[in-house]
């Protein structure tokens, strides 16, 4: 479900319905130079391709790099990942004075508070 140009209450209500029914939810809007986008993908599993790391044989090489793992970009491995997304209501109710939120505050653009 994708929503634009909706009130905050409508977005929260639709997201709660989608989350309960395992339906992916996106919302966003643009106000001149400022805009936002939110995604609630529920429990999301995906596969990521990573370069394979080769183990170094210490008996073959000398020097400071013998303990470092070498990356072979020609060989890759598939890694299964899992991400849990929060609901819009939870994201809007963050207490920015809490200790856990203080670290995220440094990475949050001031535009976020402007759009609030």
- For residue 32, the domain's CATH number is 3.40.50.12550
Residue 28 and residue 40: Cα distance in Å, rounded?
12
The stretch 94-103 carries a mean pLDDT of: 83
> Which pLDDT score, from 0 to 100, does residue 12 have?
96
State the pLDDT at residue 71.
57
* pLDDT score, position 65: 57
In a domain, 60, yes or no: no
pLDDT above 60 (res 93): yes
Domain span at residue 23 reads: 2-53+72-115
Give a yes or no: residue 48 inside a domain. yes
Q: How many domains is the chain partitioned into structurally?
A: 1
Tell whether pTM > 0.75: no
Over residues 75-101, the mean pLDDT reads 89
> What is the C-alpha to C-alpha distance for residues 28 and 35, in angstroms, rounded to an integer?
7
Output the pLDDT for position 60. Answer: 56
For range 38-47, the mean pLDDT: 91
Task: Determine the Cα–Cα distance for residues 105 and 70; give it in Å rounded to an integer.
Answer: 36
63 domain residue, yes or no: no
**98 to each of 13, 45, 91, 104, how far by Cα in Å?**
26, 30, 14, 10
């Amino acid at each position: 479900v994708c929503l634009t140009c909706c009130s905050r209450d409508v977005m929260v209500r639709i997201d709660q319905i989608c989350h309960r029914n395992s339906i992916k939810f996106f919302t966003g809007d643009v106000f001149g130079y400022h805009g936002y986008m939110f995604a609630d993908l529920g429990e999301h599993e995906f596969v990521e391709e990573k370069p394979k790391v080769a183990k170094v044989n210490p008996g073959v090489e000398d020097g400071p790099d013998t303990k470092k793992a070498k990356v072979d970009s020609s060989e890759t491995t598939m890694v299964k990942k899992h991400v849990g997304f929060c609901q819009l209501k939870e994201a809007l109710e963050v207490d920015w004075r809490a200790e856990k939120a203080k670290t995220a505050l440094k990475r949050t653009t001031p535009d976020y508070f402007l759009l609030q």
